[in-house]
Structure 1
Amino acid sequence: MTASSALAPDAVGLGLRRALLGPLRAATPGSFDFLEAAPENWIGVGGALGDAFAELASRHPIVCHGLSLSLGGPGPLDEAFLGKLRRFLDVHRVPIYSEHLSACSDEHGQLYDLMPLPFTDAAVKHVAARIRRTQDALGRRIAVENISYYATLQPAGMTEADFINAVLDRADCDLLLDVNNVVVNATNHGYDAHQFLRALPGRRIAYIHVAGHFDEADDLKIDTHGAAVSDPVWALLAEACHLFGPRPTLLERDFNLPPLEELLAELDIVRGHLHAARAGQRDVA
């Protein structure tokens, strides 16, 4: 099944952070095509902040990227939260909802971090069943994101790419492809980022993330979302666009926020890669 999206294939977006509310509301029309918000940060928010969010959502598509479902966790899914989430997504006409392919809780509650899953058949069955239940509860397909991780859980029965493919197939869901996470993981775990990219099912990619990271050492990168996008990430985005065609792409920046003009300059680089991919498709046709 092909990934679906109400966004144009060459749409470019920014992560919505509260510090950016004012600049984003005042931005020149056409500076960006969509915004991404963590619903946990906005559900139930009223007052001036809630009004500002509603005003932005009335003018720009808002995709939602969840933080707390713990799709791979051992505890039961939070059905009450899923009900609130569905209402939020419906009210704001959210075209895409995504979550992390990870666990962020145990039997006792939230861990406030994204924990990797073991690359095993048992983990595939567990997380796929929870994704299917989430899709039923929300009344929509969701996308899951390949996360950055710093240790692999044993036993490792398959590769990361095989694990992601198996989950997507068994859950019949979409993929949020984070090319920065691929660069980080390929460096830290010693695999080829480009080979990993070619192993992914392009038809399931709903949208793409690009972000910055910190180079701790030649063989260690830390996923921070607190720096400008690096050249290896730009190169991998270019390859993804070549392999899969243009897909809506979002620039993530969580802290060390520069002036909006600097973020928009990075967004222009994203736009250039997507337009080049679209032009290449026309040339082939």
Structure 2
Amino acid sequence: MNSKFSAPVSGAGLGLHRSLLDKLTHLDSKDINFLEIAPENWINVGGRLGGQLRSYTEKFPFVCHGLSLSLGSPAPLNIDLLKAVKKFLGEHNIRYYSEHLSYSGDTGNLYELLPIPFTEDAVHYVAARIRQAQDILGERIAIENATYYYAPQQEMAEWEFINAVLHEADCALLLDVNNLYVNSINHQYDAIDFLEKLHGERTAYIHIAGHDTEIEDFYIDTHGTSVSHDVWNLLRVSYSLFGVQPTLLERENNIPPNDTLLQELNKIIQYQVEFNNQKT
């Protein structure tokens, strides 16, 4: 792995949601190599829930994936939120922080991840905000390729936009292969060609998840189903192109029993072992 951009975790991880707090207590980092949370859901949370979180952050390596920094928003960057995130990362020894390449409102938060126009002006604007965030946090962050269901003012391809932001902001990439697959179906492009053109050497870690396919040729990123065969294949392609990276399973809806979650995590590990063995 490229140490310049990789997150200081390894193996297969899982998104930790409150519904899982009582279900994973008997497991440790041998079972789940790292966990991920959204800091906005936990900042200033005390009492029983805060104590439960502390019991996990003392036992597992953690990364944070932000939801509401709104990097593409017209409103000024939320400095108070960034300062609170920085404090939270330190309090819980969180090893890495990432955010979505999207926006979620202007002066208010719509709690939706909306697409940033793929334009040169947007590249300069968003990259400057990422650099500002990195200066405040005192560390490089990763940005995630987000799902989008419409593409306003699209002057360049999605991969071109992502690459330009990565380069100008000098940030890392959180590569979500499920988001990539969903976008490739909805916007009719070749997902493998996209990966081959992406600056994947900047990948810090990877997300993998399931999606809804009830509407033909229009998929929805739900994190509510098992990972599809096509998404597993994209994970394999990303390993072959960029090397084995820490990979996290996102499951937020219709959460199955632990055995099913661990089976998917073990499949990630199997792929990682397979590709690592190919290098030796």
TM-score w.r.t. the length of structure 1 is: 0.95
1:82–1:28 Cα change, 3 Å: closer
Q: CA deviation at 1:4?
A: 3.2
Is this contact kept in 1: 2:28–2:60, CA < 8 A?
no
Q: 1:107-147: per-residue Cα shift (whole Å, max 9, x none)?
A: x3111100001110000001000000000111110000000
Q: Say whether residues 1:83 and 2:83 are aligned partners.
A: yes
Q: How many residues are paired up? A: 278
Q: Give the counterpart letter for 1:66 in structure 2.
A: G
Three-state SS of the structure 1 residue aligned to 2:136 is helix
Q: CA deviation at 1:203?
A: 1.9
- Aligned partner of 1:73 in structure 2 is 73
- Aligned partner of 2:194 in structure 1 is 196
- Aligned partner of 1:102 in structure 2 is 102
- Aligned partner of 1:114 in structure 2 is 113
RMSD: 1.1
Three-state SS of the structure 2 residue aligned to 1:63 is strand
Q: How does 1:246-257 map to 2 (within 5 A)?
A: 246-257=244-255
Q: CA deviation at 1:200?
A: 1.3
Q: CA deviation at 1:27?
A: 1.9
- Aligned partner of 1:275 in structure 2 is 273
Q: Say whether residues 1:5 and 2:7 are aligned partners.
A: yes
- Aligned partner of 1:147 in structure 2 is 146
Three-state SS of the structure 2 residue aligned to 1:134 is helix
Q: 1:56-115: per-residue Cα shift (whole Å, max 9, x none)?
A: 101111100000100111101111111111011112221110000001011x31111000
Structure 1: distance between partners of 2:136 and 2:279? 37
Is this contact kept in 2: 1:207–1:247, CA < 8 A?
yes
Q: How does 1:151-170 map to 2 (within 5 A)?
A: 151-154=150-153, 156-170=154-168
- Aligned partner of 2:27 in structure 1 is 27
- Aligned partner of 1:46 in structure 2 is 46
1:109–1:29 Cα change, 3 Å: closer
Structure 1: distance between partners of 2:224 and 2:200? 28
Q: How does 1:229-268 map to 2 (within 5 A)?
A: 229-268=227-266
Structure 2: distance between partners of 1:150 and 1:81? 27
- Flag structure 1 segments of 5+ consecutive residues without an equivalent: none
Structure 2: distance between partners of 1:252 and 1:5? 17
Is this contact kept in 2: 1:66–1:98, CA < 8 A?
yes
Structure 1 stretches of 4+ moved >2 Å: none
